[in-house]
Each structure stands twice: as structure tokens, then as C-alpha cells.
Structure 1
Amino acid sequence: MEGRLLATAAQVRALVESHSAGDEARFRAAVGDVLDSAGRKGDRAREVEELRGLLDTRRASARPQTPAAPAPPSAVVQPRGELAQVLHVALPRTTLADLALGSDVMARLHRVLTEQRHADVLRARGFDPLRKLLLTGASGTGKSMTAEVLASELGLPVFAVRFDVFADLPAEDAIAKLSLVFDLLAQSRGVCLFDDVDALIDPDGGERSRSRLRDVLRAFTGFLDADTSASLLVVTTNRPQLLERPVLRRFDTVVDYPLPSTGVVQEVVLRRLRGFDLSAVEWPRVASTASGLSHEQVSAAAALAAKQCILDGAAQVETSALLAALRERRQMLKMAP
């Protein structure tokens, strides 16, 4: 054995793990440890120095790399047969840059994306990435859009499940279709959006209706618990207080979406009206008038003000136009049942 560069089992393991994880710094340290051991033994000194030179060259040429999201598929095939009634497949193009959310929510979404992009590294160390998400908050706060963003950032399709259709089906049919959905997730990785799980909860319905929906919700909870696919499962609700604790325990994380703050209102308008001159806008007045409105409602008001600007031939979007549009949206909410 004399004269050979031999590594211990621990050193070999460190080399393999660091290379698999793409951890350049740890890999170089592991190689250096092997060379140090060989150098101390005085074996093959010239080869040791040559290898040190190669290691230095690798260190000098190494550059930090950010994992790139895979390119999205070029086309999707819509489901047929039993699934066609309850499932729609899409390739979203909405990115994180299109979202205007509070810093806490954005930080949580970045965490999900980071864990998904390094899923193999986490699993190699015995951990699963965040995958089953419950998003709570009022309508129009960005919950459904989040599923599209996660899919776009990860280069995956969105499988949008229509819970409202499930709610109108006999329990046996609904459960059978749910089973098909989860079979699809096991075969084709994607982001599955189960939008508005409240549709399976009818506190105002008759006992027969409540019993049927409880059966469907119980089946959904079981499918959710048993799912071990690589797909992301995103469930949204406007009324999390209606969900029982056994349902909540099935999720890896719960993210609450509040109504937009003052800063977020401005971000929503800026993103919606890219390319418009907003230099004259009095943001404190806009934020105050928008208080209590959702992201969706603020965005709709911004679009209304921009269209008025275009039709009037105005050079700028004026504060007065934004305020009028916001008040109109608020009036519409008052008229809604």
C-alpha cells in the first residue's frame, strides 16, 4: 500500500456527500483533508503538490451559483374522461416579480422555493421539503396566484382542482374523482391547487348535505395524508376556522394572507400600471382610501384609473382618478350579497 494516496472511509464519505450536494466549499475541504493526511505520511510528495495545485485552480475558478428554475414544459394536455369535469391544467408565466405581498409572506414563499430546489439535498439528509401548503386569508389576497407563481418559478404545470364541482357531486363520485387526481399527482409532478376548500364545508346546509360533504372532506384529508408524491399541494381557504384540527395537521406549513398594507397597496398599483407615469400620485391618500380592500380589488381599481387616463389623453395617472376608482370598488363590495 505504500506510495498510494489512500483516503479513509470517513474522508471518502465526505467527498461523495459534498459532491452530491453541490457544496463546493465542503468538497474542497474534504479533498484538502485527504491531501493533508497523505502529506503527513510523506508518501508521493510530488503528486500531493500537483493535486494541491489543481485544488487551488478549482478554488480560483469556482463561482457561486444560484440554482436555476427548470424551463417550463412547452405544452400541456388537458385531462379527459373522469378528470375533465374537475381538473384544469395550465402552464403559468406569473413570477415572484408579479406578486405584491407583505415581507413575511414573501419570505415564506422564498423558503418553499428554496427547499423545493434543493429537495434532493434535504432528502439525502433525512428531511422532506415543504410540500403541503395551506394558504388562508380573504378572497383576492393572492392565494390562488401563489400556486401559479410557485409552478412558474419551478417550471411545473398547475393542476387546478374545482372544489365547487366536487361539492355538487354524490359523495361516491366525488371521492372517486379525488382518487384519480392524487393518482395523477403521483405520476406527473406539478403544483396542484385545491382552491377554496370551504366549498366542502356547508355550515348552513341541511344535515344530509353536511353529512355528504363531511365524507368528501374526510376522504380528501386521507388522500392528503397518504400522498408521498413529488408534487406541491396548495390548498386555499377563506375561513380556516371551519377546518378541524385533524385537517390542519396534514399540512407542512400554514401561510396567512392579510389585506394589503400601505406599502403593499403602492406595490400593487406600481406592478399593475407598469409603463404609466405615476409621479403625481399621492400615495398616502391612495393607501388610506384602499384600506380594507384586497389586492385584487386594488389592482382592478388601478386598471380602471389607467383606462380613464388613456381615454382622457392625460399624461399622468392622477391621484383623483385612483381615489375615484377605489371608491367605486368599495361601493361594489357593499352591493355584493
Structure 2
Amino acid sequence: MEGRLLATAAHVRALVESHHAGDDATFRAALAELVEAAGRLGDRSREVEELRKLLGVRRAATRPQAPAPPPPPTSVVQPRGELGRVLSVSLPRATLADLALGSDVMTRLHRVLTEQRHADTLRARGFDPLRKLLLTGQPGTGKSTTVEVLAAELALPVFSVRLDVFADLTAEDAVAKLSLVFDLLAQSRGVCVFEDVDTLIDPDGGERSRPRLRDVLRAFTGHLEADTSNSLLVVTTNRAQLVERPVLRRFDTVIDYPLPSAGVVHEVVLRRLRGFDLSAVEWPRVVSTASGLSHEQVSAAATLAAKQCVLDGTDQVETAALLAALRERRQMLKMAP
């Protein structure tokens, strides 16, 4: 059976059940996992390539069914005064189609969106929707883009809170500004992201006072636990191992963002090079060279290869150009402190 597509019972069951349930999101996730599993086994048969094409068609032609969100506001007013230094507001336009993530992460994000869209139904039966999320993973793996997508899909603004600024304030000033942020969330529904909570933990010490940071972190987690607004609260960290259990228990769910798998690398490059001729690309070599790089780094390498095509006056992306761009990104990582 070498060189032929082998579907496991789990794959077949997921495909059949999601098809009968009309759950296109889960169907696509199961199909993507099947194709990825085949790729890991080195299967490049005609059946696998046809499934790749089918997956691309379904992704382009369909979207998860959900109630139509209300139109988002056309503009926002940026905070001033006490909040202006620590908080900014934006109206993202990203969609689920902009995310290239593993099937497990995508399935969990679909669950968050589904519960948010049916929050009233859940509350009527005594349940709260998933609302307080901790996103963990290395830089560039899709956490920030996820925040934009969640907000755009729910037609909500993004409130971005700079925790690194809080880390440099006096404890009294930081606690006062945190109160202002959470007061705003109680009045204006949105997706509020607190980026890099590890800046409040500060494991390396430096010039910051650990006791002062502990006071700020304690105030932050207290507000997080007490918050009963309708806003979606998202906290991100690049170093999940530093987040202690008393902080973890404040969240409804923790979603880990791993480095891209072979299938996700393929998807990231396809999306970034949409409109270019990729018929000459040797995907196994590209995927192997991209191993260990983040989504952001793979996308940046694909962008570099695309620009080279434009400068050369061609639409065909060569394998050598992609490999060179990926190696350049890897070299940049080695140079970083």
C-alpha cells in the first residue's frame, strides 16, 4: 500500500459525522488533518493531491455558518488622558480565512465564536460562554492575528492594552489605570487583548522591582476574575511556563499555539503567494527547510520570494528562491539576542 492514501478510522468518523451534522468547519479541519498525516508519511499520490485541491476549493468557497454579525462601526475614538498611554482601539478586518493554524487550534477558536454568537441562549440555561482566554506560544505563531479575527468575526472593536507600560508604572498608578481599563470594558463591549502578560512577571529582574510587579499582577488577576462584562478578554504570553496556577485558573480556556506543522507551512505559503505560479515548487524541500520557523517567519520568507518574482518579471516561484528566503529568516533568528 506504499504511496497510497491511508485514512484512519478516526479520520473517517470525523468526516462522516461532520458531514451529516452540516459542520463544514469541522469537516475541513478533519480533511486538513488527513492530508497532513499523509504528507508526514511521504504520500504524494494522486489521491492526496486531489484532496489538497478539494480542501483549497472548500476553504475558498465556504465559511462556517453563523448568524450574520451586525455591521461594525466605521471609526473609533482613541482613548485620551489616563488611558491614552496604555490603551488603543482598532477595527480589524481579518477573517477566519486569514488564519493558517492547526486543526486543533482552529476547532477551539470555532468553539469560542460559536459560544459567543449564542451567548444569550447559553445564559438562558445558566451557562456562561467562553470569554476569558489565555493564548500561549512562541512569537509569530498567530496569537495576535487570532485576536483580530475574533473581533472581526464578532463585529467588535479591539482594545489593546500594553502590559509592558504597566510594568514601568508605580504600583499605585498601574492599579488605578487597570481599574479604568476594566471600567471601560463594562461599558463598551469589545475584544480586549492584554499582550505578553510575562512582562508583569519579569523573571530576569533587571531594574524593575519584583514586589511592585507582584502587586500589579495581583491587581490584574483580581480584575480578571471579578470581570462580568460582555467583552471577550484575551491574554497572551510567549512563556507559558512562567504563568503560575493561581493566574491560570482565572481563564475559561488555554489555547497553545505550536510552531507550524508541515501542512500548515504549506498553507501559509499558499496563502501568501496566492496569484503566483507554484507548479515548480518542491514542497517536501520547502517544508523541511521551514521546520522550526514560526508562521510569521514562513510568511515573511514567502513574501521575499514573491518580491523577487516581481523584480524578475515572472509569476513562477522557484524552489531555490523559497529555500534561500527561508534560510535567510533562520539566519536572522540565530543573530537575535
Normalising by structure 1, report the TM-score.
0.79
Q: What per-residue deviation string (whole Å, max 9, x for no partner) do you get for residues 11-47 of structure 1? A: xxxxxxxxxxxxxxxxxxxxxxxxxxxxxxxxxxxxx
Alignment correspondent of 1:128: 128
1:272, CA displacement in angstroms?
1.3
Q: What does residue 67 of structure 1 align with?
A: 67
How many corresponding residue pairs?
A: 273
Q: Percent identity?
A: 85
| CA-CA distance at 1:66 after TM superposition | 3.7
SS in 2 for 1:274: coil
Structure 2 counterpart of 1:152? 152
Is 1:306 the counterpart of 2:306 in the alignment? yes
Greater mean alpha carbon deviation, residues 274-283 or residues 186-195: 274-283
Q: Which residue of 1 aligns with 2:327?
A: 327
Which letter maps to 1:182? F
Quote the residue 1:231 is aligned against.
Answer: 231
Instruction: Render the CA deviation track for 1:133-182: whole Å, top value 9, x for unaligned.
Output: 00001000001111100000000000001111111111111111111110
The within-5 A match list for 1:127-276 is 127-205=127-205, 209-276=209-276
Q: 1:261 offset after TM fit, Å?
A: 0.2
Q: Which runs of 5+ in 2 are unaligned?
A: 1-64
Deviation per CA, 1:283-325: give whole Å up to 9, x if none: 1111100000000000100100000111011230111111000
Deviates more, 1:182-191 or 1:69-78: 69-78
One-letter amino acid of the structure 2 residue matched with residue 259 of structure 1: L
Contact 1:202-1:209 within 8 A present in 2 as well: no
Q: Post-superposition shift, 1:206?
A: 5.6
How is 1:64-143 mapped onto 2 (pairs within 5 angstroms)? 66-143=66-143
1:139 and 1:114 map into 2 onto residues whose CA distance is 27
- Out of 67-76 and 259-268, give the one that drifted further: 67-76
Structure 1 stretches (4+) deviating beyond 4 angstroms?
A: none
State how far apart, in whole Å, the 1-side matches of 2:299 and 2:119 are: 35
- Aligned partners of 1:76 and 1:91 also within 8 Å: yes
* 2: CA distance, partners of 1:66 / 1:98: 17
Tell me the distance in 2 between the aligned counterparts of 1:192 and 1:310: 39
Letter in 2 for 1:301: A
Identify if the C-alpha distance between structure 1 residues 331 and 154 changes in structure 2 by more than 3 Å, giving closer, same or farther: same
SS of the residue corresponding to residue 108 of structure 1 reads: helix
3-state DSSP of counterpart to 1:160: strand
Tell me the amino acid that sits aligned with residue 112 of structure 2.
V
* In 1, Cα distance between equivalents of 2:212 and 2:316: 55
Which whole-Å CA distance do the structure 1 matches of 2:264 and 2:67 have between them? 28
Partners of 2:69 and 2:184 in 1: how far apart? 23
Question: In the TM superposition, what are the counterparts of 1:18-97 in structure 2 within 5 Å?
Answer: 66-97=66-97
State the superposition RMSD in angstroms.
1.1
Task: Determine which structure has more spread, i.e. the larger CA radius of gyration.
Answer: 1
